[in-house]
Structure 1
Amino acid sequence: MTAVTTGRIHSWDLSTGVDGPGTRFVLFVSGCPLRCLYCANPDTWHMRDGVETTVDEVMAEIEKYRAFITTAGGGVTITGGEPLLQPAFTGEVLRRCREAGLHIALDTSGFLGARATDELLACTDLVLLDIKAFDVGMYRKLTGGRLAPTLNFATRLDRLGVPMWIRYVLVPGWTDDPSAVDALAGFVEGLEAVERVDVLPFHKLGASKYGALGLPFPLKDTPTPEPELVERVRDQFRGQGLKVF
């Protein structure tokens, strides 16, 4: 009897323009090893809170929207949480999507990049790589994790030729230091597989979820970035010849 691959998922949604090219079927898996202070989805932190789901069930749901997402130039994005916390499940969904002829994007912090096999990455058309900060100490304060695994994963993706979009959340007082941004831009410029950089202004849209979970929102007093700051940071990446949004 063939083993049935299952995973724990939080939800799914459709989006356009923010989770990869075109209109996407976005699958949110449960569980994340990081605790980013600006996290908009604290309800995805724990695997135990997800719903156990088979790959067949996921694919059946995706199939309902195949015509819509493919006509709109999109595909499937697996996000979370952290998809690489469940590498067998994520890898099987990616493989099945590849067999179905769907464009596949993997949204990850890269912190668990070592768990992604070469086979998993061979089924991935695009990695949305979230680099949370480029200063080691700041990364630790902001996420509770280490920066090195993400940078190692970025280098590995580049060596394998897996296309990347780098995502950088701009948080005033946390990730806006000019020298750190310049250093990150220099690192990214050296990765030939990077297609673009998305500078994402910090927002508080997930603050209500913290209240619902009985948790304090760590950055409730942190302002959202002014347009001038966002443009300054984007210009720093553009200064390295990078395509920036």
Structure 2
Amino acid sequence: MLNVHSYESMGTFDGPGLRLVVFLQGCNFNCLYCANPDTITLKGGTPTEIEEIVRMAVSQKSFFGKKGGVTISGGEPTLQAKALIPLFKKLKEENINICIDSNGSVFNNDVAELLKYVDLVLLDVKHFNDEWHRKITNHENNRTLKMAQYLRDNGIKMWLRYVLVPGYSDQEEHIKALGEHFKDFTNVERLEILPYHTLGKHKYEHLNMKYQLDGVPENTPEQLKRAKSILEPYFKLVVVN
């Protein structure tokens, strides 16, 4: 049984091809710019049998093509790793591509088992500098970096994702440091720059929560272009998602 927040059919921004995206409830981070604050709490969501998700995936399989499949997102999906294992086994039996979108901060035996069935990890690196990472997420970043190393050591394909927030994660020296750290990770297929946006701000008002980045402007095209040019020497492919 999984605790599901919501679904997105025919998603195009969460892995290769067209995908069924399953957003799970609950996250251990509390990112300042979180666009889905309603997914943070472990309470809520809809208890869902894995057979229901398999049925949805199989019904959409004809749309996936050669590249598409299922992406498990959140929240933080590895918090429900034990329940995800039987789902991933069944999806593999149906020959369905599996991605998981994770902040990389949870690692235990269940997560290690889960990763055996994953075709691609979308690893969200909130910031390469630990001090700034703590400011943004209220957590240190060493677990995320250790997860990246584990994925590298085990040959698991990875896309890095980096949200560019003006004044918070756009410092050139730290972006370069990220590139230097990951430049020799042969399992990294691409880096995605995710522009900062305020589309989820209204959710904070609805939840009676304070939006911490009030007044922070969205990225200019020049800022995105500059970050892309800084990172391109380090990776096979850099895209603004």
Bin of the TM-score, shorter chain as denominator length: over 0.9
CA drift of 1:216 comes to 1.5
Q: Which of residues 10, 15, 39 is equivalent to 1:44? A: 39
Same amino acid, percent of matched pairs: 36
| Map 1:52-201 → 2, pairs under 5 A | 52-69=47-64, 71=65, 73-114=67-108, 116-201=110-195
Structure 1 position 212 matched with structure 2 position 206:
yes
Q: Secondary structure at the match of 1:113?
A: coil
- Write out per-residue CA displacement over residues 22-59 of structure 1, whole angstroms, 9 at most, x where no aligned residue: 11000000000000000011111122111111111221
CA drift of 1:95 comes to 1.8
- Write out per-residue CA displacement over residues 64-102 of structure 1, whole angstroms, 9 at most, x where no aligned residue: 212122x37310000000000111112222221111100
Q: In 2, are the aligned partners of 1:172 and 1:224 still within 8 Å (CA)? A: yes
Q: What's the TM-score once normalised by structure 2's chain length? A: 0.95
CA drift of 1:126 comes to 0.2
Q: In 1, are the aligned partners of 2:126 and 2:162 still within 8 Å (CA)? A: yes
Q: Secondary structure at the match of 2:182?
A: helix
Q: Which runs of 5+ in 2 are unaligned?
A: none
CA distance in 2, matches of 1:106, 1:147: 19
CA distance in 1, matches of 2:135, 2:226: 24
Counterpart residue identity of residue 30, structure 2: R
* Aligned length, in residue pairs: 239
Q: What's the TM-score once normalised by structure 1's chain length? A: 0.94
CA distance in 2, matches of 1:219, 1:244: 26
CA drift of 1:115 comes to 5.5
Q: Which runs of 5+ in 1 are unaligned?
A: 1-5
Q: In 1, are the aligned partners of 2:25 and 2:41 still within 8 Å (CA)? A: yes
CA distance in 1, matches of 2:224, 2:107: 28
Q: Which of residues 6, 19, 24 is equivalent to 1:29? A: 24
Structure 1 position 20 matched with structure 2 position 25:
no
CA distance in 1, matches of 2:180, 2:110: 25
Counterpart residue identity of residue 126, structure 2: K
Counterpart residue identity of residue 63, structure 2: F
CA distance in 2, matches of 1:181, 1:15: 32
Q: Secondary structure at the match of 2:194?
A: strand
CA distance in 2, matches of 1:73, 1:157: 21
CA distance in 2, matches of 1:37, 1:19: 21
> In the alignment, what sits opposite 1:3?
none
Counterpart residue identity of residue 151, structure 2: L
CA distance in 1, matches of 2:66, 2:80: 29
Counterpart residue identity of residue 48, structure 1: K
> In the alignment, what sits opposite 2:228?
234
